[in-house]
A = this chain, B = another copy of it.
């Protein structure tokens, strides 16, 4: 399958759906200047080709009592495939870890961890993450405040 080329109209659709994932097809079609039928067809194609992976509600963490958000940088004892697999499998069991990226630099992984408070954060780290046998060291950055959290990616023009 060729990597599917989308045109200017598709890009506009992607911009709009990133900013408002629940816009109606009727409104979307007005915004991009097409009738509803081809608009829907384009959206479906973007979904079917996997360019649009999914849609999600974004919640206010403070209002659902998730006050302590952190980034945690993790180093493994050795970075062979076996160890990485063990780590990934363990991470996937933990709902509070919502992101896990393998990164360059002096650490191996960076995690994003969402918890209710410091106590639950500490408990999670001590009992669930430190306990993963392949983990060597961890370094936490507690998020004090968030100044930008855009869900709109900068799609290149060409």
* Chain B residues within an 8 Å CB radius of A64: 6, 14, 51, 153, 155-156
Copies in the complex: 2
Q: Tell me whether B56 and A19 are in contact (CB under 8 A).
A: yes
A78 interface hit (Cβ, 8 Å): no
Q: Tell me whether A4 and B53 are in contact (CB under 8 A).
A: no
- Most chain B beta carbons < 10 A, residue from A21, A92, A116: A21
A7 interface hit (Cβ, 8 Å): no
Interface string of A53-82 (1 = CB under 8 A from B): 111111111011110000100000000000
- Most chain B beta carbons < 10 A, residue from A14, A55, A144: A55
Question: Closest 4 interchain pairs by CB?
Answer: A21-B55, A17-B57, A56-B151, A100-B148
